[in-house]
Every structure is written in C-alpha cells, then in structure tokens.
Structure 1
Amino acid sequence: MGHNRLSMIVSVILTLASIGLLFTKGLNFGLDFTGGTLVEVQFQKDVALDDVRHLMGQSGFPDAVAQNFGARNDVLLRLRPAGETSNAEVVGDKVMTVLRTLDHQVQMRRIEFVGPSVGNDLAEQGGLAILAALGCILIYVAFRFEWRFAVGAVLALAHDTILTLGLFSLLGIQFDLTVVAGLLTLIGYSLNDTIVVSDRIRENFRKMRKGTPKEIINASITQVFSRTVITSLTTAMVLVVLFFLGGGLIHSFATAMLFGVVVGTHSSIYVASSLALWLGVKKQDFMPKVVEKEGADQKPLM
C-alpha cells in the first residue's frame, strides 16, 4: 500500500490513454463484426494454411482468415467485404481462380455472405455480455464481502478490460469474437485473484486486533502476494505457448489473455484494494453482528 498512490496515477493515465485511443483510432473489427463472405473449399491434398493466407493476401484479400474445417484439406475462408467483393458470386469466382494456383482440382463446397447488420448485432451482444458480467460480479461481491470491495473489484475489472481494448486499438490487432471470449475469460481470471485478496483482508480485519485499515490491507496483500504471482506466472507460461504456437486463429485470444494477466495481477494487488481503502473500509464493516436474544436484558426475578 506504500506504492498505491503511484500505481493509481499510472492506472488512471493508462486508462485515459486507452479511452482516447478507442475514441480516436477505434478498433480493427474483424469479419464477425463487419460482415463479409464465407467460402468453404476442399483441396485434393493437404495444404498449409500459411500458404493460403499468403496467396489470398497477394490477390487482394489482405485480411483473409483461413482455418481447417474438419480434415486438413478442407479450408474455411472468411473475407472482409470491399467494393465488388460484397457480391458473393464475384468473390467465389475470384477465390477459386486464386486457389487453383495451389491445386487445380480444388472444389468449392459452400459460399455464404454475412451482412453488416449481423455484425452489428454481434458487436452489441458482445458488449452487453461484458457489461452483464461486470454487473453480476458487482452484486456477488457486494453480498459476499462489502459494497466498497464490490465497487473496487468492478472498477479493477473495468480497468483491465479498457487497457486490453486500448492495446488492441494501439497495435491495430484484429478484434473478433475470440477477443470477446478472451475478455470474458480475463474478467473471470482477474476476479478470482481479487476475491482471494479480499477474503484475506476480511479475515485479517476480524483477527488482527491492532493496526489501521491501511496496515491490515498491506499485511493481507503481503500474505497472498506469492500465491498471486505464482498463479499469474503459471498462467502466463501457457499463454506464451498459445501465443507463439497456437496459430493465427487463436493469436488474438492469446494476446488479450497474456496482456490481461499482467494488468489483472496489478489491479488485484493495487487497484481493487486501494479503491476499497479510499472508499473508507474499516474493521467495523466486517465484525459479525451480535444478535441479542429476547429477554436477555431483563433481570431475573428473585
């Protein structure tokens, strides 16, 4: 808690910078939100997805997303709409012409066009899912602990989400439904750490007879610090593997989670507890209430 003022200043600056990026630069929305064309093709032999992406990028589809659909020779392409590419038939003819340079016997199995209105609905539902998660967490923590901790936890989770969105805006990384899934996963992960810290603070408020709220919170964070760091490092090890070896489709998810684990660890230690302290949490808030029995204040008759 000796560094809480500095950490809060840094968090506020980064949060404001992220909000500024979101309003000025915005997000690089993927096909899930912008709409586009979905093409499923079948090659006669197995093909490397990197070769398909590279070839599509050279042929006027720089944002093409390629993934295997079942077998390694079945490939699903998702293409962003641009000019004439909003016509599914034109897109299909152009895609098949390009892919025949890899395999002249390639066959088209399916082609569908996703309108932008569907993408807008997905964007709205994704945003509502994140807000609903934060709202449910606010209610849960308020009942489980104390309303000051609930406000601190939700603001800490909002801090993690906004900073992650700011990173995607700054780097121009494609934002699709896998990133929304990553944000929701991040909220759950970060909440777990915040609950552990809050539970230890509540326990020490009841056990420690002496000490100011700041000293008790500081002692509580120190007790769970090694657990928080070890958990974060273990999670980060898995995410690093996904980031480098998981492939293009999961790269955005791994990026959101890897960055989120870092800021989530920071917010669990500093942001949530500092906000609860600044809101005036004290020992009396966690003392069990004594319920007097009926007639306990009456003197026995002689």
Structure 2
Amino acid sequence: MRLLKIVPDHTNIDFVRLRGWAFGLTLLLSVLAVGLTVARGLNYGVDFVGGLMIEEKFATTPPLDQVRATVDRLGVGEAFLQPVGDGRTVTIRLPVQQGADEGATNAVVKKVETALGQRFPGATFSRYSTVSGKVSGELIQKGLFAVGLAILLIGLFAIVRFEWQFGVSTIVAIVHDLLMTIGFFALTRFEFDLNIVAAVLTIIGYSINDKIVIDDRIRENMRRYRKMDMREIINLSVNETLPRTVMTSLTILLALAALLLLGGHVLRGFTAAMILGIVVGTYSSIYVSSSLLITLGLRAEPNRENPGTLDRAERTGDAERVTPRNT
C-alpha cells in the first residue's frame, strides 16, 4: 500500500528567493492589522468590559431596533445588541447592575426574558453571564501579562537553545501572528473574550512548535554543511521539514473545520482564531522567521571542537578531493 505524500520527495523550493516579497507582505498586513484595531477597536466581551450578557434565541430573525426598544423600556440600562450565527440568536449586553448580587441579576434576566417573550412569540432564553467592572479590569491585565510573558519566555528559550538571531526571529514571527489575529477580530467584530485569549496562547504554542522544528534542522545542517551558503542551508532545512509542517497543519485544520461547522456559534470565534493562527503561523515559520536569519547575519561556523577534522557530510561528499588531516 502506497503512503499518501502531500509533499513529493526531493522537493526543492527556493523559499529564500521570495523573502523580499514575504517581508513586504508581512509588514503591510501588520500595519493594516494595527490600523484596523486602532480605528475600529475590538468587540470586547463581558469578560473584559464588565456587565451582564444575555443570549436570546428568536423564532425568526428579529429587527434589532425593536429588540433594543423593548429592552430599553425596562430601565435596566442601555443595551448593546449583536446578532450571532444565523442572525436569530442575539446577545444583549447590559451595564453592571446596581447591587449586582445573584438575586438582582436573576431578576434582571427574568425581566428581559419575559419582555422579549411577550414581544416576540417563540423567543427563548439561552444563557447569561455577568462580570463586575473590577474583575474585568483584572482580567485584561492578566490576559495581557500572560501573552507578553509567553512571548518573552519563548524568545529567551530560543536564544538559550540556539543563537540570538533565532530568538529575535522567533519573537518577530510570534508578534506577526498575534497582530494578524487581533486585526482579524477587529475586522470581523467577533466577540473578544477569555476564550480568544486562550486561542491566542494556543496559536503561539503551535507557531513556536513549528518554528523550533525548522530552527533545529537549520542548526543541524549548519553543523553538517559548514561550507554551504546560509541561503542554501535554510532552503534545505525548510524543504526537509516541509512534509511534517504541511501534514501537521492539514490535520489540525481538518479538526478545526469540523468544529467550525458543528460547534455552534459559541465556539465560532475561538475556532476561527485557531484556523487563522494555523495558516498564519505556518506562513511565518516558512517565509518570515527562517529567512530573517539571513538578514540578522547568521552564518555557519567551522567546527571549533575539532578544527582539524572534517564533518561526516563533508567527508562523504568530498572523499575523492579532500584528505583529512592526520591527528
């Protein structure tokens, strides 16, 4: 039985040749992502802004202005509405209620549920969540701290494990992936909550896993082919790891596609962020971080431990031309 090979054997793609275009595209997309985020902002969930979020399902797609008017007449604060899924489900975000204990919150939820049920026959209550303003501020700080600490520690690991060039290229690739994800949420207006922070951290983990595999192969080939140009080493390393990179990405994307189609609107934002992160992370690992090593001046060095001996690859390839020095 023949094995399925998505990437043919002896693939030799000149990835480094496109590094100028890749750097330009990366810079352009990063600037656009930052611009979108600044101009439109993020649709923060209750986790980050505080307040009460009620999810209501309607029999048919409701007019949002009528839903808003119905809720505003209850005197529970200004309502912010957002349709999700097929449009028949609407999230209703209300400000933090006075005396927001469990009893008061349940009373507000019951009031909204009853009013909407009377105004729109067939409307059913789905779920609600509430977060105080103080807790939401702490969640923002902790979320930013978690992401920043993850990027810093990963960069330090790459510096200690390899060379400083690897650490810098790793941080650049991760920041690029992070900006793409944030820009995507600014564009689509998906709700940005703690689930998305978890997705971002997962994306960072996947990106660094893919990059470390490539970096490890680059370092291995630097030791094996000390006379080879750095451009050729990087192309060789990326092509050698390409089957693993493509197969891993495709299998994860298949699972995420099933989750996107069958997981419902509650998981749609999380799944969309993961799919985008896998695609962007694969691109940055292949085209951005690896080629950036050349720009940062990484060079293969001679064997310092045994300068008078040739490595195994050179002895094999140059056996007819080179005689090792006697020791």
Given residue 113 of structure 2, which amino acid in structure 1 is its aligned partner? V
Residues 224/290 of structure 1: CA separation in 2 closer, same or farther (3 Å cut): same
Determine whether 1:14 maps to 2:52: no
C-alpha distance in 2 between matches for 1:25 and 1:227: 38
Determine whether 1:92 maps to 2:105: no
Determine whether 1:80 maps to 2:93: yes
C-alpha distance in 2 between matches for 1:83 and 1:114: 8
Match of 1:133 in 2: 150
C-alpha distance in 1 between matches for 2:194 and 2:60: 20
Q: Note if contact 2:230-2:294 (Cα within 8 Å) is conserved in structure 1.
A: yes
Match of 2:45 in 1: 30
Given residue 12 of structure 1, which amino acid in structure 2 is its aligned partner? L
Residue 220 of structure 1, CA deviation: 0.7
1:18-68 deviation digits (Å, cap 9, x = unpaired): 11111111111111112122679xxxxxxxx854896796633634899xx
C-alpha distance in 2 between matches for 1:168 and 1:102: 32
Residue 282 of structure 1, CA deviation: 1.0
C-alpha distance in 2 between matches for 1:259 and 1:65: 19
Determine whether 1:228 maps to 2:215: no
Match of 1:242 in 2: 259
C-alpha distance in 2 between matches for 1:127 and 1:240: 28
- Which stretch has the larger CA shift, 223-232 or 178-187? 223-232
Determine whether 1:59 maps to 2:74: no
C-alpha distance in 2 between matches for 1:117 and 1:65: 27
**Correspondences of 1:140-289 after superposition (within 5 Å):** 140-284=157-301, 287=303, 289=305
Residue 175 of structure 1, CA deviation: 0.8
Q: Look up the SS of the partner of 1:80 in the other structure.
A: strand
Q: How many residue pairs end up in the alignment?
A: 269
Residue 203 of structure 1, CA deviation: 0.5
Given residue 38 of structure 2, which amino acid in structure 1 is its aligned partner? F
Q: Note if contact 2:48-2:193 (Cα within 8 Å) is conserved in structure 1.
A: yes
C-alpha distance in 1 between matches for 2:128 and 2:246: 48
TM-score by length of 2: 0.72
C-alpha distance in 2 between matches for 1:120 and 1:158: 23
Residues 56/2 of structure 1: CA separation in 2 closer, same or farther (3 Å cut): same
Given residue 168 of structure 2, which amino acid in structure 1 is its aligned partner? V
Q: Note if contact 2:37-2:182 (Cα within 8 Å) is conserved in structure 1.
A: yes
Residues 280/173 of structure 1: CA separation in 2 closer, same or farther (3 Å cut): same
Q: Which runs of no fewer than 5 residues in structure 1 stay unpaired?
A: 41-48, 67-76, 292-302
C-alpha distance in 1 between matches for 2:184 and 2:165: 29
Q: Note if contact 1:65-1:79 (Cα within 8 Å) is conserved in structure 2.
A: no
- Which stretch has the larger CA shift, 182-191 or 79-88? 79-88
C-alpha distance in 1 between matches for 2:210 and 2:233: 18
Match of 1:69 in 2: none
Q: CA RMSD in A?
A: 3.3
Q: Note if contact 2:221-2:233 (Cα within 8 Å) is conserved in structure 1.
A: yes
Residues 53/203 of structure 1: CA separation in 2 closer, same or farther (3 Å cut): farther
Q: Note if contact 1:92-1:111 (Cα within 8 Å) is conserved in structure 2.
A: no
Q: Look up the SS of the partner of 1:263 in the other structure.
A: helix
TM-score by length of 1: 0.78
C-alpha distance in 1 between matches for 2:53 and 2:27: 41
Q: Note if contact 2:58-2:123 (Cα within 8 Å) is conserved in structure 1.
A: no
Q: Note if contact 1:53-1:64 (Cα within 8 Å) is conserved in structure 2.
A: no
Given residue 110 of structure 2, which amino acid in structure 1 is its aligned partner? G
Residue 181 of structure 1, CA deviation: 0.6
Q: Look up the SS of the partner of 2:210 in the other structure.
A: helix
Determine whether 1:2 maps to 2:17: yes
Q: Note if contact 1:243-1:255 (Cα within 8 Å) is conserved in structure 2.
A: yes
Identical columns (%) = 36
Q: Look up the SS of the partner of 2:17 in the other structure.
A: coil
Residue 248 of structure 1, CA deviation: 1.3
C-alpha distance in 2 between matches for 1:141 and 1:53: 53
**Correspondences of 1:105-116 after superposition (within 5 Å):** 113-116=130-133
Residues 83/220 of structure 1: CA separation in 2 closer, same or farther (3 Å cut): closer
Q: Note if contact 2:221-2:237 (Cα within 8 Å) is conserved in structure 1.
A: yes
